[in-house]
Amino acid sequence: MAQGIGSVLGGPVAALIHDTAGSWLPVFGLIIFMDALTAILALFVLKPMRRRWLRSTEAMPTGALAAAD
């Protein structure tokens, strides 16, 4: 879903930012910021969520995992 929205809106939004600023530097700066934010969220949000999920599935009996699917 994110790739679809990015492909439809990414180009026009980047062009709008370029036209407003008159340079590509703000576009690339925004992309760098968003990449860094994604990395931070992966480390501090997704990693703990994944760790909790793995612990909860290890505690379940094997038959319970098959029933949950």
Asked, for residue 43, whether it belongs to a domain, the answer is: yes
Asked, for residue 35, whether it belongs to a domain, the answer is: yes
Q: Is the pLDDT of residue 56 over 70?
A: yes
Asked, for residue 18, whether it belongs to a domain, the answer is: no
Query: Average pLDDT of 18-39?
Result: 97
Q: Residue 25 in contact with residue 17, Cβ under 8 Å?
A: no
Which residues, including other chains, have CB under 8 Å from residue 17's CB and lie 6 or more apart?
26, 27, 30
Q: What is the pLDDT of residue 2?
A: 85
For residue 69, name the pLDDT band (cuts at 50, 70, 90): low
Q: Is the pLDDT of residue 59 over 80?
A: no
Structural domain including 28 reads 24-69
How many whole angstroms separate alpha carbon 32 and alpha carbon 40? 12
Asked, for residue 8, whether it belongs to a domain, the answer is: no
Number of independent structural domains in the chain = 1
Amino acid 34 reads: M
Q: For 4-8, 42-46, 60-64, which range has the lowest pLDDT when averaged over its residues?
A: 60-64
